[in-house]
Chains A and B, each alone.
Chain A
Amino acid sequence: MSVEEDYLSLLTDLIKKQMVMLGPGVAISKARKVSSLTVSQEGQVTAIAGDPQAALDQLAREYMNLSGQIAQATLASLLEKYPNIKGIASGSK
């Protein structure tokens, strides 16, 4: 998998997990606040316009603003599956 595919997959996983934890409406509306992401109604990230790391940082912050430590823990466990992707700027990994 290319790094870009890794980002697409990680972002999708993060959104889907947040959909389970927070509910689909809240999780997707937050994801759609990240303007560089194209997110389907099912939580699938189909395209990233621009820097994928910046998009991940912004999405993570959106979720952390809502559920703090829970979002941080989710992202940390997801990042373990994607060794090519570094953690967010606040240092969740």
Chain B
Amino acid sequence: MELTLGLAIITVCGTVAGIAGYFLMRRKFERELELNRKKQEELAQKAYEMAVLKEIGDRIGYSLDAQKIVEIITRSLGQLFSFSTASSMIFDGEYDKIIFECNVRETVSPQFIADVKVKMLAAFSEMLQEPLVDIDVDESVVGELVDENDKYPIASFFNLPIVISGRAVGIINVASKIPGVYESEETEVLYRIASQASQAVSKLQEVLENEKSRLSQAVESLSDGLLMVNSKYQLILANRRLSHLLGIIENPKIFDIVNALSGSFDLRTKMEEAYAREGTLPPLEVAIRDKVFQVFVSRVSDKKSGKQSLRSSSLDPSASLRADTLETAGLKPVAIVVLFHDITDAKNLERLRQDFTAMMVHELRAPLTSIKSSVAMINPADPAKMPPAVVGKYLKTIDSTSQTMLELVNDLLDVAKLEAGKFDIICDSGDIAEVISDRVEGFRPIAIEKHIEINAVIEPGLPRAWFDKVRIKQVLNNLLSNAIKYSDSGEVTVGAKKQIVNGAPIDILVSVKDTGIGIEEDQIEKLFSRFGQLESGRRNAGLKSSGLGLFITKKIVEASGGKIWVESQGAGTGSTFNFTVPFAEASHIEGTHDIKSFTTEKVAQA
């Protein structure tokens, strides 16, 4: 009996344990199923999120088009929820126009759509934190038919704002006739997508803005005028330099530019020519206002279109990549660039060179004619019959004229050496006072001939200076020769003293002062340039020279470590040419230097 009871108890307990075990196992199994289901849902959401983001990434590329984000998200909504309408609003840059598009998935009433629009505008107003006044809404409805008799209102909806770089650019609205359908976590995936797409586009926009800013700075810093138009000939950019060169307002319209060029350059025609052909048009030389420009017109092509075009042509097995295939598959022009390079200075220089050559030819021909005439006068057939005094006079003329020619040729050679960088300056320690005294005495006879008093005023105890003895003589010769040449009377004084700056001597100041014709203030700058005399009109004095002397003088002084400048109160007031010569350093004087420490300058090209 007891045994039977015991067996019964064991059987009951076993059965209960079995049943309990079954339920526990089932519960565990159900929990695992639930977890699996959740995981699958999460994976599906993740896959959806990735697919939508990938499509956004693929389609947007570099266009920064918020409308595309809205389009892609709106189109993908059907995979996530049921809805009656999916609508989008895109805001323009100034927030004065909205494009509203309603995609009707199941029949709704016009009032339903109107309510969607009101809710979206209210959301937009809340986002901007200001009421919307006088806003223009461009509306379109697509999809299923709208039924006037449908009586279902909006029972549930949600808005998805699209924000790029902190600025609201659009809203997506999903609305349904069924209540409470958009409270699940599935909705959140859309916010995540919108947020990630916005962040990606914002970053891209930032990069592009930075690039644009750098490009703008580069364009603005150009010394040439530049404009760019798109394929519809609308102005994309015009730099400040262009406005300055054409004398028009900053940020001009294309018409301002065309008007400024009117009569000089047919901008429209040239842009059309450039648009029709690849590469750059041959440069054009155009005179605009008082300037001369070289104008380059070229088209900008979309390289991507060319690649696509080539790719599609290569798909055709019969098509070979011949030259004509390449031509027809040419790059699509997207813009025209016009560059205005100011060549006024280059043209002036070219003219000066031509004038200078003509002048030199004349300057060399005149003494040659004189020499030839003098020789003819000596009568080579029977020179013994000529009185010696007459022969002597003609020989003196030949001598002085050939000397003038030699000086001209020497000047030309010096300039040629300067331009070739082969003009040597070899400095050494020396006594500048001695050189000045020597030169003053050398010019004294010529000065006396013109009744000009010539003096040297040298500060006693001048330190030794650092200069090229031959070249510094050339400098003094030039300045003294000019001083006497451009003076009819009066005096020429050569001074030398220590130049004191802030109480300390820094170098030796040499000055050549005359009481001659003087120099107008506006001519001073041109004196030392290569064609200075031609530009300044200083040759009008009717005096023979190459006009290169001051140019060569300046180069010698500067290559020796000094400076040169001129002072004059204007015409008829005389002038003073000053130049500086560096002190010789202690090591130069003591002779502790080796040969390499001597300054040996190759004067840079003029």
Contacts and interface: CB of A to CB of B under 8 A. Distances in A.
Give the interface SS of chain B, mostly helix, strand, loop or mixed.
Answer: mixed
Contact of A66 (B156, B166, B191): B191
Contacts of A26: 158, 182-183, 187
Please name the 10 residue pairs, one residue from A and one from B, whose CB atoms are nearest each other, closest first.
A23-B158, A29-B183, A25-B183, A66-B191, A25-B182, A26-B158, A21-B123, A20-B126, A21-B126, A23-B157
Nearest to A17: B126
Contacts of A20: 119, 122-123, 126
Interface string B150-191: 000000111111010010100001000000111110011001
Contacts of A66: 188, 191
Given A21-B159, A26-B182, A77 B191 contact: no
Most chain B CB within a 10 A radius of its CB, from A20, A22, A24, A65: A22
Interface string B183-209: 110011001000100100000000000
A36 B184 CA distance: 20
A40 interface: no
A27 B187 CA distance: 11
Given A21-B161, A22-B160, A26-B182, 5 more contacts: A17-B126, A20-B126, A22-B161, A28-B183, A66-B188
A44 interface: no
Interface string A3-17: 000000000000001
B142 interface: no
A73 B167 CA distance: 11
Interface string B252-267: 0000000000000000
B318 interface: no
A66 B159 CA distance: 11
A77 B450 CA distance: 93
Contacts of A74: 126, 129
B103 to A, nearest CB: 17
A66 to B, nearest CB: 4
Nearest to A30: B188
Contacts of B604: none
A37 B126 CA distance: 24
B182 A23 contact: yes
Given A22-B158, A25-B156, A26-B187, A68 B126 contact: no
25 contacts: A20-B119, A20-B123, A20-B126, A21-B126, A21-B159, A22-B161, A23-B173, A23-B182, A24-B156, A25-B156, A25-B181, A26-B158, A26-B182, A26-B183, A26-B187, A28-B183, A29-B184, A67-B161, A67-B163, A68-B195, A69-B163, A70-B127, A70-B163, A73-B129, A77-B129
B188 to A, nearest CB: 7
Interface of A: 17, 20-26, 28-29, 65-70, 73-74, 77
B159 A68 contact: no
A70 B182 contact: no
Contacts of A17: 126
Nearest to B188: A66
Contacts of B188: 65-66
Contacts of B180: 25
A74 B180 CA distance: 25
Contacts of B181: 25
Contacts of A23: 119, 156-159, 173, 182
B168 to A, nearest CB: 7
B206 to A, nearest CB: 15
A22 B157 CA distance: 9
B127 A21 contact: yes
Nearest to B173: A23
Contacts of A67: 161, 163, 191, 195
Interface string B109-122: 00000000001001
A38 B604 CA distance: 87
A69 B117 CA distance: 23
Given A25-B183, A26-B183, A69 B166 contact: yes
A34 to B, nearest CB: 15
Nearest to B158: A23
Contacts of A77: 129
Contacts of B198: 68
Contacts of B158: 22-23, 25-26
A29 B188 CA distance: 11
Contact of A68 (B119, B122, B163, B182): B163
Contacts of A21: 123, 126-127, 159, 161
Nearest to A27: B158
Nearest to B154: A23
